[in-house]
Amino acid sequence: MQSQRELCSFPIAPSHKSKLTSAGFLITEDLKHLKPSELSKETGIGLEECLEILKLVCSESVDGSKRNEAPKPAVSALERLKEEQSLPPIITFSEGLDNMLGGGVPLCKITEFCGAPGVGKTQMCMQIAVDVQIPSQFGGLQGEAVYIDTEGSFIVERLVDIAKATVDHCNEMARLEGFKEGEITVESVLSGVHFYRCHDYVELLATVHLLPEFIKKHPKIKVVLVDSVAFHFRHDFDDLSLRTRLLTTMAQSFIKRATEFKIAIVLTNQMTTKFSPGEDSRLVPALGESWGHASTIRVILYWEGQKRWAWLYKSPSKKESRVPYQITMGGVRDIVTSPADNSNDQSDDEPSSKRQKVS
C-alpha cells in the first residue's frame, strides 16, 4: 500500500496531465480502480495512452520493481564501497596520470579532459580506447570501446601506432611472465573500437540516445569516448537556454548509462576565454558552468614551459594535483626525467610552432 502521490510528479506528457487535472484526477488514489476505457471516456485521452498512464501510475504501488526504468533501491555505503573496489579502472600508460586519478580512468563515472588545441585530448582518447582492451592477465579490462568523433580529428593510422606500441608492450610482458603471446593483436584492437562520426549536435544526441541498445548488443564495451562534446554546441548555437537543456540532459543520460552498464564515459572539451571586469582574461573550459557540474572528474590539460601538464581540477575522491606527461609515437606516456638528460628527444613529436602558452 502506498501513500498518496500527485499525478504531476509522474513522467506523463504535459497535454495528458492537463486533461487529467481538468477531469479531476489529481492523485494516485483517484486512478486506482479505473479501467483504461473509463479513463479514456472521462478525460478524452486515447485508449492506448490511458493504458500506459495506468500502468505507470499503478505499478508503482507494487514495489515499482516491474518497471525496468525503476530506480535502484537504497544501498548502504558499505556495499557501495565493496562495489567501487571491485571495479578496476582503465589504466593509461602514464603512471603519473594513473596515480593522480586513483588508479586510472574509473568506471561508472564521467571523466572530462579539457584543453587548448594541440595539447593531446584526442591522443588521450585514442590511448584510452586501446588501453581498455588490454587482456585481464595484464591487469586490463579486456573490453571494447565506443569512439564518437565530432570534430573529424580521428586518424586511423595514429590509432594503429598506439595499438602497435600497446601490443608490443603486452607481448613483452607475456614473454617475461610466461603467458601466451598474441592474446592481443593490432587487428583485435582495431576491431574492438566501435567508431561513430557525428556531423552535428542532432546526430550526437541521437547516437547518445541509441547507446543503451548498442551496449546491450555488445556487452564487452567498457568505455564510451566523445571527442569532443563541445564542438557542435559552440558554433552557431544561438539559443543558450536550449543548449543548457540539451547538455544537461545528455549529461544525465551519460551518468545513467555509466552506472547502469558499469562503463566509463570519457569526454573532451575545448577551452574558451573568460573576460572578467578588472581581471586578466583567462582560459576556462567551454560550455559554461552548468556543464562543469556534469562531469564527475575534470582534468585540464595545458602547456607550461616546454611540457604538457595534466591538472586534476575536480574529483570526488582524489586531491587536486598536477602531473607532467608527454605524447610519444606510442601514445601518452610519463615524462622520463634524468638529471643529465636536457633534451628529451623522445618527447613532443609536435612541431615547436604548436607550443602555446596557457595563461
Q: Does 273 bind other proteins (CB under 8 A)?
A: no
Rounded Cα–Cα distance for residues 234 and 306 (Å)? 29
Q: Does 188 bind other proteins (CB under 8 A)?
A: no
Is 28 within 8 Å of 57 (Cβ atoms)?
yes
Q: Which is nearer to other proteins, 27 or 186 (CB)?
A: 27
Q: Does 304 bind other proteins (CB under 8 A)?
A: no
Rounded Cα–Cα distance for residues 295 and 318 (Å)? 15
- Which three cell numbers mark 218? 555488445
Q: Which of 101, 124, 159, 258 binds other proteins (CB under 8 A)?
A: 258
Q: How far is the CB of 105 from other proteins (least distance, A)?
A: 14
Q: Which of 110, 114, 129, 332 binds other proteins (CB under 8 A)?
A: 110
Q: How far is the CB of 247 from other proteins (least distance, A)?
A: 8
Q: Which of 185, 248, 344, 346 binds other proteins (CB under 8 A)?
A: 248
Q: Which is nearer to other proteins, 191 or 249 (CB)?
A: 249
Q: Does 270 bind other proteins (CB under 8 A)?
A: no
Peptide bond into 228 cis (omega under 30): yes
Separation of first and last alpha carbons in the chain = 61
Q: Which is nearer to other proteins, 38 or 304 (CB)?
A: 304
Q: How far is the CB of 178 from other proteins (least distance, A)?
A: 34
Is 237 within 8 Å of 159 (Cβ atoms)?
no
Q: Does 19 bind other proteins (CB under 8 A)?
A: no
Rounded Cα–Cα distance for residues 292 and 286 (Å)? 9
Query: For residues 53-82, which are near other proteins according to CB under 8 A?
Result: 60, 64, 69-78, 80-81
In one letter, which amino acid is 296? T
- Which three cell numbers mark 93? 600508460
Q: Does 22 bind other proteins (CB under 8 A)?
A: no
- The CA-based angle 288-291-294, given to 5 degrees, is 160
Q: Which is nearer to other proteins, 60 or 203 (CB)?
A: 60
- Which three cell numbers mark 96? 603519473
* Residue/partner pairs of 249-253 with CB below 8 Å, 24 or more apart: 250/204, 250/205, 250/208, 251/110, 251/291, 251/294, 251/295, 253/208, 253/209, 253/211
Q: Which is nearer to other proteins, 115 or 331 (CB)?
A: 115
Among candidate residues 294, 315, 267, 331, the one with its CA nearest the CA of residue 100: 315
Among candidate residues 38, 36, 45, 37, the one with its CA nearest the CA of residue 13: 45
Single out the segment in contact with other proteins by CB under 8 A; choices: 92-100, 115-123, 201-209, 244-252.
244-252
Q: Which is nearer to other proteins, 180 or 319 (CB)?
A: 319
Give Cβ neighbours of residue 323 (< 8 Å, ≥ 6 apart): 94, 96, 97, 99, 100, 309, 310, 334
Q: What are phi and psi of 161, to 5 degrees?
A: -55, -50
Q: Does 236 bind other proteins (CB under 8 A)?
A: no
Q: Which is nearer to other proteins, 65 or 353 (CB)?
A: 65
Q: Does 289 bind other proteins (CB under 8 A)?
A: yes
Q: Which of 30, 164, 288, 355 binds other proteins (CB under 8 A)?
A: 288
* Interface residue list for other proteins (CB under 8 A): 2-3, 5-6, 8-11, 14, 60, 64, 69-78, 80-81, 83-85, 102, 108-110, 240-242, 244-245, 248-249, 251-252, 255-256, 258-259, 276, 279, 288-294, 296, 298, 313-314, 316-317, 320
